[in-house]
Amino acid sequence: MDALPSLHDVYRAHARIQAMAVCTPLVHSAPLADRNGARSVHLKLECLQNTGAFKVRGAANKILSLSAEEKKRGVITFSTGNHGKAVAYVAGQTGVRAIVCLSEHVASYRAEAIRRLGAEVSVKGKSQDEAEKNYHDLAGSEGLVPVVPFDDPMIIAGQGTLSLEILSKLPDTDVLLIQLSGGGLLAGIALAAKSIHPRIHIVGVSIERSPAMLESLKEGRPVQVEEKDSIADSLLGGIGFDNRYTLPLVEKYTDEHLLVSEEEIKDGMFYMFDQHRLIVEGAAAVGVGALLSRKIDVAGKRVVSLISGNNIHSGEYLDIVGGRLPSEG
Ligand SMILES: *Cc1c(COP(=O)(O)O)cnc(C)c1O
């Protein structure tokens, strides 16, 4: 499949991934709606998804649509964590061999989680780009089928199934707040949502530390940004120099872009714990962080903010949340 994915592909993905991905809750946040004068703010809780992030949707759609011969060869990927976990999970559930290539930069608890799901892990290189080179070498030498994290029509269509779940429950949604890194998530959600409901307002939320997609949109071609650490580590990394799908789709469907700081992300994480009793990773909290700092005017609007995952080291999490608790408890 080489054409851009369509709404039809998203419906097919929805049917295909039923056994791998759960339909996560869509809960109302009265405190966030009140603070922002919104008609409603709902949170789509992909932190409760299998493997702890939405990425299982795209990975399942891709792997389950491979031919019997491709499934026999096995799959390979590179990932900062959540995509690797998703590929390992789906491959493990379907009896397909999987190798996940990581850089030395990826936290060891993430590599361990991938191994526990039954995939082989290959750690090589100091950056995401070096891990990617290792992946190309291994894919060639071992004849494995590449499962890329975002720039693939089947991955994009899988992530787009989120829109079907959101709009079947809340068809009058005005604004969708979606995290933006490689853009598979936003491309899938936006293409499905706009096809169903053309007036919906799509907001991409990027991190100040790694706005690769924003810089690429400005230049009109994929550009590299300096790789810095972020509490939202799932949003780090570039969009790929040979980007074919997510850059044009994000350009076509995004109505507004927001950038959030590290402090705003931490505020969002604390708010999810304090008000909703939910543990979420940094990447998941960027939309809530943007709402808390009133980076976007949602007065009178029906808003949905995606909570994309919960994969964070317990110690790191406790430092962030514990540091914000009022001393009287
Ligand atoms: C991958 C990921 C994102 C961003 O998705 P892209 O398709 O790369 O834009 C957001 N949140 C979490 C938790 C992720 O794992």
* Average pLDDT of the segment spanning 156-161: 98
C-beta of residue 100 within 8 angstroms of C-beta of residue 122:
yes
With a cut of 80, say whether residue 2 has pLDDT above it. Answer: no
- According to the model, what pLDDT value does residue 312 have? 93
98 φ/ψ sector (left φ>0, alpha ψ -120 to 50, else beta): beta
Closest CA to 10 of 147, 185, 189: 189
- According to the model, what pLDDT value does residue 328 have? 63
Share of the chain above pLDDT 70, in %: 98
Run of H or E including 45: strand 40-45
- According to the model, what pLDDT value does residue 224 have? 87
Distance 72 CA to ligand 1 centre (A): 28
The HSE-up count of residue 228 (CA atoms within 13 Å, CB side) is: 12
| CA 74 – CA 81 distance, rounded (Å) | 19
Cβ of 325: how many Cβ atoms within 10 Å?
A: 11
- According to the model, what pLDDT value does residue 228 have? 86
SS (H, E, C) 170-181: CCCCCEEEEECC
| Tokens (6 digits) for 165 | 């779940």
| CA 306 – CA 239 distance, rounded (Å) | 21
With a cut of 90, say whether residue 131 has pLDDT above it. Answer: no
- According to the model, what pLDDT value does residue 251 have? 98
Please list, in sequence order, all residues whose beta carbon lies within 8 angstroms of the beta carbon of residue 249, skipping any fewer than 6 positions away. Answer: 4, 156, 183, 186, 187, 190, 191
Cβ of 84: how many Cβ atoms within 10 Å?
A: 31
| CA 185 – CA 10 distance, rounded (Å) | 12
With a cut of 90, say whether residue 78 has pLDDT above it. Answer: no
For the segment 223-273, what is each residue's pLDDT rounded down to a tens digit?
988 878 999 999 998 898 999 999 999 999 999 999 999 999 999 999 999
**122 C-beta closer than 6 A to ligand 1:** no
| CA 307 – CA 326 distance, rounded (Å) | 25
Q: What are the structural domains, with CATH classification, of the chain?
A: 7-54+152-324 (3.40.50.1100), 56-146 (3.40.50.1100)
Share of the chain above pLDDT 90, in %: 85
From atom 5 of ligand 1, which residue's Cα is the shortest distance away? 185
- DSSP conformation letters of 96-123: --EEEEE-TTS-HHHHHHHHHTT-EEEE
**180 C-beta closer than 6 A to ligand 1:** yes
**301 C-beta closer than 6 A to ligand 1:** no
**179 C-beta closer than 6 A to ligand 1:** yes
**250 C-beta closer than 6 A to ligand 1:** no
Closest CA to 232 of 89, 80, 102, 130: 80
| Tokens (6 digits) for 190 | 């936006």
With a cut of 70, say whether residue 292 has pLDDT above it. Answer: yes
For the segment 185-237, what is each residue's pLDDT rounded down to a tens digit?
999 999 999 999 999 999 999 999 999 999 999 999 999 888 789 999 999 98
- According to the model, what pLDDT value does residue 329 have? 52
C-beta of residue 29 within 8 angstroms of C-beta of residue 1:
no
From atom 1 of ligand 1, which residue's Cα is the shortest distance away? 234
For the segment 32-59, what is each residue's pLDDT rounded down to a tens digit?
999 999 999 999 999 999 999 999 999 9
**89 C-beta closer than 6 A to ligand 1:** no
